[in-house]
Amino acid sequence: MNKKIPFFLIIVILAIGACALGLVACDEPHEHSLTRTPAKEATCTGAGNIEYWYCEDCGKYFSDEAATIEVTQAETVIAATGHIYENHVCIKCGQADPNGTEGLEYELLDNDTYRVIGIGDATDTDIYIPSVYNGKAVTSIGDQAFYNCSGLTSITIPNSVTSIGEYARTQPQ
Ligand SMILES: [Zn+2]
Ligand SMILES: [Zn+2]
C-alpha cells in the first residue's frame, strides 16, 4: 500500500521538530558568563540596586554568585526612597521642601514671579514660604502679608525672596 503524505504535513512536522529542538536547546544548561554588579543604595531621587549577577549569554539575572537564584531585572532595582521632610528640610539629603505652607495666598507679578500676599487658609504657626510656587519663583512678600497674624511663631523666607513689603511682619516695627 502506497501511502501519500501531503507536502504541507511534512512542513508541519518539520516545523514542530525544529520547535522542539529549539526548546531543548533553550533549556540546555550552560556555563553562565556572569558579570557582577555591586549593590547601590537608593537615594531620595535616584534608584539603587541589589547586588546581582547577569549572564549575557542567556540574559538572566541572579541574586547569588553561584547563579542558583534567578531574579528578574525589575527585582534588582531598589526604588528611590523620596524625600522625607521635617520642618521643610529633607532629613536625609538636606534639600529644602519645594512645597511651602499650604493655603498661602499668592499673586502673580508682571515679571512672571509670585508674591505672597497673605496667610490665606494656612493654619500653621510656622509659616514656610517656598522658593517656587506653581513652577515660578517666589520673589516677594507683599505689604501687610502677615500683618495681624498674631498666632504665628515663625516665617521662613527663602533666598529667592528679594523684596519684603512694609508691615509684612506680624507686628509693625
Ligand atoms: Zn547564562
Ligand atoms: Zn532628600
Distance CA 137, CA 131 (A): 6
Nearest to 63 by CA among 50, 74, 48: 50
Q: Give residue 68's pLDDT.
A: 96
The verdict on residue 35 lying in a domain is yes
pTM attached to this predicted model: 0.54
Gap from CA of 17 to ligand 1 centroid (Å): 24
Instruction: For residue 14, tell me if it sits in a domain.
Output: no
**Number of structural domains found in the chain:** 2
Instruction: Mark whether 104 and 140 lie in a shared domain.
Output: yes
Nearest to 100 by CA among 79, 116, 84, 80: 116
- Residue 100: predicted pLDDT: 86
Task: Provide the grid cell at 8.
Answer: 504541507
58 and 116, same domain (yes or no): no
Compute, in angstroms, the gap from residue 34 CA to the centroid of ligand 1.
7
Are 114 and 150 members of one domain? yes
Residue 19 has pLDDT above 60, yes or no: no
Judgement on whether residues 113 and 149 belong to the same structural domain of the protein: yes
Q: Is residue 22 part of a domain?
A: no
* DSSP string over 31-47: ---EEEE--B---SSS-
Q: Is residue 110 part of a domain?
A: yes
Ligand nearest the Cα atom of residue 61: 1
Domain that holds residue 144: 98-164
Instruction: Pick 149 or 61 by higher pLDDT.
Output: 61
79 CA from centroid of ligand 1 (Å): 26
Which among 82, 106, 125 is the end of a domain? Answer: 82
What CATH number is attached to the domain comprising 149? 3.80.10.10
Q: Are residues 76 and 106 in the same domain?
A: no
pLDDT over 90 percentage in the chain: 48
Q: Same structural domain for residues 68 and 126?
A: no
34-66: pLDDT as tens digits: 999 999 999 999 999 999 999 999 999 999 999
pLDDT tens track for 61-114:
999 999 999 999 999 999 999 999 888 889 999 988 878 888 999 999 999 999
Residues 6+ apart with CB under 8 A from 150: 170
Banded pLDDT at 173 (limits 50, 70, 90): very low
Whether residue 27 has pLDDT greater than 70: no
